[in-house]
Amino acid sequence: MPTQMNEACTLKTRQIVKNPALTLGMSQKEVLQYKKVAAEYGNVAPVVVSAPENNGCLILAGSARLEACAQAGIKEIPAVMVKAADEAGQLKLALMLSSIHDGAGALSEGALISLLIKEHGVAPREIVKLLGKSKAWVSKRMALDQNLTGTVKGMVRDGTLSPRSAEEVAKLPGGGQTEFAVNAIDSGLSKTEISQLVARYKSACSDDVRMEVIKSPLEALSKIGERVRKKPAADAGLNGPGRRLGGSANYASQMILKVVNMAVNADDETLRESELQLSRLRDIAEEADITLNRLLSDVSPGKQEVCRRGD
DSSP-derived letter for residue 296 is H
Confidence of residue 243 (pLDDT cuts 50, 70, 90): low
- Cα(220)–Cα(228) distance, integer angstroms: 10
Q: State the chain's maximal CA–CA distance in angstroms.
A: 70
As a whole number of angstroms, the distance between CA 229 and CA 196 comes to: 14
In this prediction the pTM is 0.54
Taking Cα atoms as reference points, which of 120, 138, 109, 141 lies closest to residue 22? Answer: 109
Distance CA 101, CA 107 (A): 11
Q: Calculate mean pLDDT across residues 267-295.
A: 80
User: For residue 237, is pLDDT > 70?
Assistant: no
pLDDT value at residue 247: 65
- CATH architecture, range 7-146: Alpha-Beta Complex (3.90)
Residue 47, phi then psi, degrees to nearest 5: -95, 165
* pLDDT tens by residue, 132-183: 889 999 999 999 999 999 999 989 888 889 999 999 999 999 999 999 999 9
From CA 4, how far away is CA 61, in angstroms rounded? 19
The sign of the dihedral angle between the CA atoms of 150, 287, 241, 217 is negative
Cα 43 from Cα 10, distance rounded (Å):
10
At 98-140, the pLDDT tens digits run: 776 644 578 989 998 999 999 889 999 998 888 888 999 999 9
Distance (Å, rounded) from C-alpha 238 to C-alpha 190?
10
Cβ–Cβ under 8 Å, residues 66 and 13: yes
Query: What does the pLDDT look like over 34-76, one tens digit per residue?
Result: 887 777 777 777 888 887 777 788 888 888 888 888 888 888 8
Domain with CATH 3.90.1530.10 in the chain: 7-146
Cβ neighbours of residue 151 under 8 Å, at least 6 residues apart? 177, 178
